[in-house]
Chains A and B, each alone.
Chain A
Amino acid sequence: MSIQLGFLVAYFLAMIAIGIYVSRRNLRGAEEYLLGGRTLGPAVTALRLQSSSMSGYMFLGAGSLSYTHGYFGMWYALGDIGGGILNLSVLGRRMRKLSQILGSITSIEYLEHRYPSAWTRGIAATIALFCIFFYVLAQFIAGGRGLAAVAGVSYPVALALAIGVIVLYTYLGGYLAVAYTDFVQAIIMLVGMMWILMATLSAVGGLAEGNAMLGAMDPDLLTMWGRDLVYQNQWGIVLGALLVFSIGYMGWPHVVVSHMAMKRPGVARKAGVYSMLFNLLFIPGPYLVGMFALILLPTLSDPELAIFSVAEHVLPSFAVGIVMAAIMAAIMSTADALLLQAGTIASQDLYLRFLNRNMTGNQMVIVSRTIIMSLALLGYMIAVVDPPGIAAIVIFATTVLGSAFVPAYVCAVWWKKANAAGAIASMIAGTVTAVAWGLMGLDDTTGLGAMLVGLACSTTAMIVVSLCTRGSCPVPKNVIEALAATENIAPVPASAWTKQDSSLSAQADALNREKK
């Protein structure tokens, strides 16, 4: 235990040292710093993008899901694998073009531009904050549990420590050159996860042999219906599981990719392709390890520590420390990104928009800090007393997000008649349904997954309300024109597809319009 702790501490110190050293060298003028200096190349960018998907869910939630229910967890994994391509294709080009023409830089602003109304902004921001809170809560719990396991301290202490470090990072992280540390971290996690997977497979004698042993233990584990066949024929739930990380994912606020700087962005598309390949390789791993943990360690008291425990079991001790440290760092950086986003939403989309049009930089920082401290304290209070399961929280948050936002995003580009009233109604309907379904545990009683019901309600609300309020709440002229511009999209020649700079689309459009 103490060797692992030693490596964990050493890892963090090393990352901090690298971060400070590199940032000292780069921290010159404001512009160079803001614009990111040199571009890093597609492979590095892709790995960095992955850091955000490597979180407490992956390392603790997914493991516990499959430890508890075997191949049932695969429904989530299968959905997750396709999430990236679905997002790219369904929303992809048209949304990017529409967001360019409407001039939006964040996704919530984009919703308000497309569905003009102060309510759109207010409601979208509130829902986003609500969901971000739950996702952050999951990271807090994961951090607490992981730290408790590695450092041997009690959970409440570990939780406080984990939250403390995360909040500290949101304050002081600016001193570190994150690009490099993220990259090193991603490599360690990838290598670590692969190593754990290989070592686990070899410990059980291979995939086929492992499945045979699982089957011998309890044949239900190999069906995709969970222990005691609890989910058999529950197609509503299964469909929900498939949809959560494929479609639900589209609701996350970072979905609209915005170029902040006027610089050649050549790496973006290629990085997207790399990161999809990465997902394909990486996503099933934690689920498989969690399942085979049942064979190696059948009596774990906390299924959420399945992957950590297997790592301790199959890896040499020096590796355990480093890999666990990388996992902890991933959890923390996911939490940090989420908290900062919460801060931005609270300060820009709520405070600036509704309370103080002349918000200063200092006020922005104060509002951000306030919301972050509030979320941290609330998070601690909930997580320390009776922490819900990590997988359950993440699935809940993604379900609410997906139900609330997916119809709004999809109809934004694909349905001209979608108006502000419809969007507002759909966001509210989706949220209320998904939250109620989740809190009241209606998944089990009705056999319908929350994701399915939530999406159905929000989509219906969008359609019905938009059509009914056609007269009283018409789609504004500039939006109609913008949509017309996005509709006339010719396919791009394949060779030019990956490197086209979408931030030029509006300028290209101005010239294109002259041709008519």
Chain B
Amino acid sequence: MTNEYVLRRQVTRMDAHAIVHRNLPDAAPECTELRHHPFVGFVHAVNHRMVTAEVSPLIHTLVDRFTGRPYLSDPWPGLTNRVDSMGLNEPTDPEWNAVSLNQARHNATRLIRTSLVRRLKLAHGHSLHEKQCLETVWKPNWVITASYRRRPLQVLVDALTGGYYILGT
């Protein structure tokens, strides 16, 4: 057991192929692998008069370790502890852009606050309490290598949301 975590993929290999096929019908997938990208995960509890929930409302954020970019996310599906033997095929940290844990925390709270005020405006103040901080959360991405019009092409398909991005563009 490590203190690293892995998010379970929500998009299957077949789904990923379907997504590529839908958007690049002439692409012929040749190789598909599951890669993981490192994020920092935070869970914050929000105290705001206008927000009610059966349980205390929690906000999940993921901060890209390589860029510091924070994202709001759905509650994390299938978070498991990373076992040492798990080969995650992680990308090398370029290091020229990586953020510290504190910077990641700062970015996450900034995002949450901006988003709260944008939606709920200024009727009431709010407070955030950090409930959880996961220093390394590995987010799954499918990487499909395909040939498209006789050229090799690699497409990243986000295994949580199903969004895609062609490498190199």
Q: Mark B113-134, 1 if CB is under 8 A from A, else 0.
A: 1111111111111111000000
Q: Is A208 an interface residue (CB 8 A)?
A: no
Q: How far is the CB of A499 from chain B (nearest CB, A)?
A: 6
Give the chain B neighbours of A261 by CB distance below 8 A: 71-73
Q: How far is the CA of A417 from the CA of B29 in the complex (A)?
A: 40
Total A-B pairs in contact (CB under 8 Å)? 222
Q: Evaluate contact between A512 and B121: CB separation under 8 angstroms.
A: no
**B22-69 interface (Cβ within 8 A of A):** 23-25, 35, 37, 46, 48, 50-53, 57-60, 62, 64, 66-69
Given A29-B51, A348-B110, A507-B141, also A105-B70 (CB < 8 A): yes
Which of these, A174, A504, A513, A515, contacts B94 with CB under 8 Å? A513
Task: Report the contact-size class of chain A (Cβ under 8 Å from the partner).
Answer: 35 or more
Q: Is B168 an interface residue (CB 8 A)?
A: yes
Q: How far is the CA of A482 from the CA of B46 in the complex (A)?
A: 34
Q: Evaluate contact between B128 and A361: CB separation under 8 angstroms.
A: yes
Q: How far is the CB of A502 from chain B (nearest CB, A)?
A: 7
Q: How far is the CA of A496 from the CA of B168 in the complex (A)?
A: 14
Q: Evaluate contact between B163 and A514: CB separation under 8 angstroms.
A: no
Q: Is B154 an interface residue (CB 8 A)?
A: yes
Q: Mark A480-516, 1 if CB is under 8 A from B, else 0.
A: 0110000011111101100111111111111111110
Q: Quick check: which of A197-205, A262-270, A406-414 contacts chain B, the rest being far away? A: A262-270
**A12-46 interface (Cβ within 8 A of B):** 27-31, 33-35
Q: How far is the CB of A207 from chain B (nearest CB, A)?
A: 42
Q: Mark A88-114, 1 if CB is under 8 A from B, else 0.
A: 000000000000111111100000000
Given A103-B69, A105-B111, also A34-B59 (CB < 8 A): yes
**A241-274 interface (Cβ within 8 A of B):** 259-266
Interface centre among B37, B70, B128, B166 (most CB of A within 10 A): B166
Q: How far is the CA of A50 from the CA of B94 in the complex (A)?
A: 40
Q: Is B6 an interface residue (CB 8 A)?
A: no
Task: Report the contact-size class of chain B (Cβ under 8 Å from the partner).
Answer: 35 or more
Q: Evaluate contact between A499 and B23: CB separation under 8 angstroms.
A: yes
Q: How far is the CA of A369 from the CA of B111 in the complex (A)?
A: 19
Q: How far is the CB of A258 from chain B (nearest CB, A)?
A: 9
Q: Evaluate contact between A33 and B168: CB separation under 8 angstroms.
A: no
Which of these, A102, A105, A340, contacts B110 with CB under 8 Å? A105
Q: How far is the CA of A173 from the CA of B64 in the complex (A)?
A: 32
Given A260-B72, A344-B117, also A490-B23 (CB < 8 A): no
Q: Evaluate contact between B143 and A478: CB separation under 8 angstroms.
A: no
Q: How far is the CA of A104 from the CA of B156 in the complex (A)?
A: 22
Give the chain A neighbours of B113 by CB distance below 8 A: 348, 361, 364
Interface residues of B (CB under 8 A from A): 23-25, 35, 37, 46, 48, 50-53, 57-60, 62, 64, 66-75, 91-92, 94, 96-97, 99, 107, 110-128, 141, 143, 148-149, 154, 156, 158, 160-169
Q: Can you list the 4 inter-chain pairs with the closest CB atoms, starting with the nearest? A: A501-B163, A362-B125, A30-B57, A103-B68
A and B contact pairs by CB, cutoff 8 A, 17 listed: A30-B51, A33-B119, A105-B110, A171-B122, A172-B123, A174-B122, A348-B113, A361-B125, A365-B122, A365-B126, A500-B169, A501-B161, A501-B163, A505-B165, A510-B37, A510-B92, A512-B154
